[in-house]
Amino acid sequence: MAIPQYMVAAEGFDIYPSGALAANYPWFVTNTNLRGQIVANDGAFQGNALTFPTSGAGSTLASGMEYQFPSTMQITRGNTAAGGAGAFAVNGWLNINTMTAGSGSLLAIGTAGAPGSLFSLLSISNTTTGGTNLQFPTNINSPSSAPFNFNIQLNTYYWIQLQFAYYSTSTTASSAVMKASYTINGVALQLDVPLTWSADVFSAAQPANRLKFYASNFISYFWDDLVIQSVSSADSNWPLAGGVNPTPETVPSMPARQITVATATANGSSVQMTPSGTEPNWQSATDPTGDNFVTATSAGQTDTYKWTTPVTNDVRAVVIKGNSNRYSNVEGSFKTSSAGTLEQMTTNFGPSRYISLSENDGTNAWTQTSIEAGEFGQTSR
């Protein structure tokens, strides 16, 4: 039986073309001068990476790009209602390429539609005497107050794991607890360390559901292979019994990843949608130009396709991303074989795009063999 990972999103940047990252769900541009850029050959495995401009950026770190992920987390003090307890983690490869003197937040968690509601997850500092340090918060309301420092080498990739848990033991704000575990390259820096949380940054109506990325003219850096985990007491898969409080390890530690891209090779056993032209369904649906596509004419139509993957070990999830003019009417689907039962994936919707994720085949964790034996596609709703 596969162990739940509580993954809600994963981003490998090889699927994006080089250049400015489009403002397309799950990506949102909040400052065009700080829009994320996709660059080739600078990733952790020599593929694409995400970076942010220095030219046109200000002298202080500011956020101009956000990534939205599925979340029911209500991170407010004294909240004992659904969503008032939870755990989440942000994992990924980080390379501080160049940096001169300066400091500030690199990554924060925020909420859709409220740019001022956030708290920093990771900061950076460069000084003549101290060198370049990643800074991990010990105080949610003042991330520059006594952070945990980790000295790094420039132009070097590090696998970063930021795990958090929060809960309140009563409706009194002072009963709120937040803890964190910080890990780099598989080595724990801090485990279950209590964080100072003296004031709320979110309101009760705001889910914590966006990562905020920061840019400045004094730093150039790259992200690759981001993995986000999240679960709260409002979710049906909440793993803890009543009266048991979460820890950062409620979401399992995510070891270093390489997110690879599968390639469609043929139609599967279900071909019910209509191709736009003369190409077969599998080619039409996966055309990277968008010139060809498939169309569903009614609910319940399914297309599945065969896929091949690079050499892949320790698979934690399969993710399908699709564009659709009726994005909320499509969900990812799979079969473990041509004779298998059609299964629907967990799907989240945003403007013009849907994202589906499955951690297992219904029972067991995916492997390269089971992925290539299976069929993956989409079903109209």
Amino acid identity at 232:
S
Q: Are 41 and 47 in contact (CB under 8 A)?
A: yes
Is 85 in contact with 245 (CB distance < 8 Å)?
yes
How, if at all, do strands 346-350 and 274-275 pair?
Answer: unpaired
pTM metric for this prediction: 0.96
Residue 105 host element (H or E) = strand 102-111
Question: One digit per residue, pLDDT tens: the chain, 381 residues?
Answer: 789 999 999 999 999 999 999 999 999 999 999 999 999 999 999 999 999 999 999 999 999 999 999 999 999 999 999 999 999 999 999 999 999 999 999 999 999 988 889 999 999 999 999 999 999 999 999 999 999 999 999 999 999 999 999 999 999 999 999 999 999 999 999 999 999 999 999 998 899 999 999 999 999 999 999 999 999 999 999 999 999 999 999 999 999 999 999 999 999 999 999 999 999 999 999 998 889 999 999 999 999 999 999 998 899 999 999 998 887 889 999 999 999 999 999 999 888 889 999 999 999 999 999 999 999 999 999
What gap in Å lies between CA 201 and CA 224, rounded to an integer?
A: 28
Q: Distance (Å, rounded) from C-alpha 93 to C-alpha 106?
A: 13
- Specify the DSSP class assigned to residue 236: T
The secondary element (H helix, E strand) that includes residue 55 is: none
Distance CA 244, CA 247 (A): 10
